[in-house]
Amino acid sequence: MTTSFRVPKRLLVGNPMRSAQLGETLLPKRLALPVYCSDAISSNAYATQEILLVLALGGASMVLLTPWIALAVVTLLALVTLSYRQTCYAYPDGGGAYAVSRANLGRHASLVAAAALMVDYVMTVAVSIASGVENFVSAFPGLAPYSVELCIGFILVLTVMNLRGVRESGTAFAIPTYGFIISVYVMLGAGFWNALNGHTPVAESANLGFTNVSPAGAALIILILRAFASGCTSLTGVEAVSNGVPTFRKPKTRNASITLLLMGAMSIVMMGGIAVLSTMTNLHIADSMDELTNVPAGYEQRTVLAQLSAAVFGNNSLGFFAVQGFTTLILALAANTAFNGFPILASILAEDKYMPKQLGRRGDRLVFSNGIIILGSVAAGLIIAFNGSVTRLIQLYILGVFVSFTLSQTGMVVYWCRHARENGWTPKLIGSMLVNGVGALATAVVLGIVLLTKFTHGAYLVVIAIPVLFFVMLRIHRHYQRVSRQLMPKAAGITLPSRIHAVVLISQLNEPSLKALAFARAIRPSTITALRVDTNPVRTAKLVQEWSARDISVPLTIVTSAYRDLTEPVLDYLAKIHVGPRDVVQVFIPEYVVGHWWEQLLHNQSALRLKTRLLYMPGVMVTSVPYQLRSAEPYVLERPGADADVAVPPRSAVRPSAEAEPVPVPAVPPTLPGAPEPAAGDRPTRPGALIGR
């Protein structure tokens, strides 16, 4: 990495953090709540609205059902919260759906859960950001045309924040989350207080009417189920706390469980309050303007929260801006739950060899940087593909959530059964199993409803994505296992090569070529030749002449290239000279390196291409002999003394000391006394030996 690239990276993500700093990133409850519960709490900003939008398809009489559907949703929410509370206790190391189904339902179920969770995390970012921006432009209608750009901007900010590390985001998240909770509660309280005193607030859309009429029979049932399924978005994010148990301060499980219950209670009150208040204020909202009648000219439909806060506090009042501002912030930041969860899940999957191992490595700032970047990119892609529409994105959201809910809670039921088999049934255990059993059953039913009512509205994409992810993960696993079997060291060891044939690639007679020739002779190979690929007879003739004139004591071999390509003739030549299985060909490639990236563009990349191809030839090793041009600054030590160097002599099981104190490094690495080779004395040092003249 050149300096020109390193400086902006450091400005953006901060200085690298030592591995030993990992312990510092534990969260107290007051910070864990905003970090892990912003998703679940913030989903109330759109859950009621999604119920209303579906019911509007059935006209005015159906919309009156809103509080009842909200009641069904909060009942389910209470069940799921209680169910997950038990997961916190049972899995103090993080009881994500993946871990729980892995332990109880086996490998395949756990991979389905993992695939569903990955889809969820992506959708959490996309939906939260889209809804946050929708609320933001409800307060500033002039920005409405730039919704998609605003979404991308928010995602970028989140990505960078998360690349900097968890702890900082915890602090940054506290104010918006608590601000949202307080401002919405104040709004609900003020609204109901006014209503009790006879001054019921009136929504700006109260005078509108609906064009649709109430359906009958099966269509009625389906509409109610669809509205319920849409309202279930309120449940998204409940699992975040149980995933995050290990990052809580001690006592971890107790703190996590309290946080979870707090979150459930706050969410239930909020969901119910918003549903009742929007019915009282006679709020009208619809997916398309065609569904509304009596619309005044220039009417711009705003979000449910914007209409409620305008009705309670007055439009463009301080209270209105507080609610809209905090809603935007908590939604934008709710996406952070996913930025916490996705990279950790991906790293666990990488550790288990179901995902590329690059996802399992912590970056400079102790976070799983690759996972963060992938999450941000995919979510941004979805926002662009769906043009930032919350309603369209939400169709993709709920399905994955309920797949992982159902699997996770079914896993818990199995967990309790196994527990009981080992220790016998106790009333407490039966109670625990019942709670999880009812939770699993309820979420499975909802999963069925979601699948039926949402399939054609976009959920089919998730029905495709989850199996695809599932098979990709299986395939990755098979690959890693096959590789690791092949890499396993055999008991027989490896035979030392008997002869080394050096081949030095030469294009012109210049300093880098002479250096490569000198280095090649220094290893004292059994045979040595210089190899020139003839693409231009005039230059080849010049090379031959210079070769003779300089009297170079290495033979020059010329192969012609009919197709002006360098790689194939070299490979053909090597394929011919490589004879015995115990022989090794060492190819020396002179390379000159320049300092600036733009200078790189001015030189052929043929060496890189050739080196890549040579890696596929058995019995060949490839040696680059670099020649640094003046613009290429040599490597300079940056953190002298930062590393501990410990030499381990063979035939002893000395463990390396883990502390970071610098240990002086000997000028020459230690050689083993008594080892038959290498021995420096074997080689006569010939100080005056020259190559070329």
Q: Is 108 in the site for a second copy (CB under 8 A)?
A: no
C-alpha closest to that of 386 among 148, 158, 124, 118: 148
Q: Which is nearer to a second copy, 140 or 597 (CB)?
A: 597
Question: For the purposes of burial, counting CB atoms within 10 Å of the CB of 512, is it exposed (0-12), middle (13-18) or buried (19 or more)?
Answer: buried
Quick one: which segment of 113-121, 372-380, 418-426, 591-599 binds a second copy (CB under 8 A)? 591-599
| Mask for 56-95, x = binds a second copy (CB under 8 A) | ----------------------------------------
Q: Which is nearer to a second copy, 75 or 510 (CB)?
A: 510
Q: Is 689 in the site for a second copy (CB under 8 A)?
A: yes
Q: Which is nearer to a second copy, 199 or 550 (CB)?
A: 550
Q: What angle do CA 311, 312, 316 make, to 5 degrees?
A: 70
Whole-number Å distance between alpha carbons of 49 and 187: 17
Question: For the purposes of burial, counting CB atoms within 10 Å of the CB of 687, is it exposed (0-12), middle (13-18) or buried (19 or more)?
Answer: exposed
Q: Which is nearer to a second copy, 196 or 668 (CB)?
A: 668
| Residues from 123 through 142 that contact a second copy (CB under 8 A) | none
Whole-number Å distance between alpha carbons of 273 and 265: 12
Q: Is 474 in the site for a second copy (CB under 8 A)?
A: no
Total number of residues that touch a second copy (CB under 8 A):
169
Quick one: which segment of 65-73, 189-197, 297-305, 660-668 binds a second copy (CB under 8 A)? 660-668
Q: Is 481 in the site for a second copy (CB under 8 A)?
A: no
C-alpha closest to that of 407 among 115, 122, 88, 127: 115
Whole-number Å distance between alpha carbons of 173 and 32: 10
Residue that has been written with the tokens 């797949």 in this structure: 403
Other CB atoms within 10 A of residue 174 CB? 16
Q: Is 502 in the site for a second copy (CB under 8 A)?
A: yes
C-alpha closest to that of 497 among 614, 585, 617, 624: 585
| Residues from 228 through 247 that contact a second copy (CB under 8 A) | none
Torsional sign, CA 655, 658, 661, 662: positive
Q: Is 377 in the site for a second copy (CB under 8 A)?
A: no
Q: Which is nearer to a second copy, 92 or 692 (CB)?
A: 692
Q: Which is nearer to a second copy, 178 or 573 (CB)?
A: 573
Whole-number Å distance between alpha carbons of 348 and 396: 24
Q: Is 4 in the site for a second copy (CB under 8 A)?
A: no
| Residues from 598 through 657 that contact a second copy (CB under 8 A) | 599, 601-604, 611, 613-618, 620-635, 637-640, 642-656
| Residues from 344 through 363 that contact a second copy (CB under 8 A) | 356-358, 361-363
Q: Which is nearer to a second copy, 409 or 513 (CB)?
A: 513
Q: Is 593 in the site for a second copy (CB under 8 A)?
A: yes
Q: What angle do CA 288, 292, 293 make, to 5 degrees?
A: 145
Q: Which is nearer to a second copy, 290 or 633 (CB)?
A: 633
Both tokens assigned to 240: 């975040």
For residue 241, give the amino acid letter.
V
Q: Which of 12, 289, 434, 523 binds a second copy (CB under 8 A)?
A: 523
Find the helix or strand (DSSP H, E) in which 586 lies: strand 583-593
**Least distance to a second copy from the beta carbon of 363, Å?**
8
Q: Is 296 in the site for a second copy (CB under 8 A)?
A: no
Judge whether 190 and 168 are in contact, CB under 8 Å.
no
Q: Is 24 in the site for a second copy (CB under 8 A)?
A: no
**Least distance to a second copy from the beta carbon of 214, Å?**
42
C-alpha distances (whole Å) from 366 to each of 118, 165, 363, 369, 563 are 21, 7, 5, 8, 50
Q: Is 25 in the site for a second copy (CB under 8 A)?
A: no
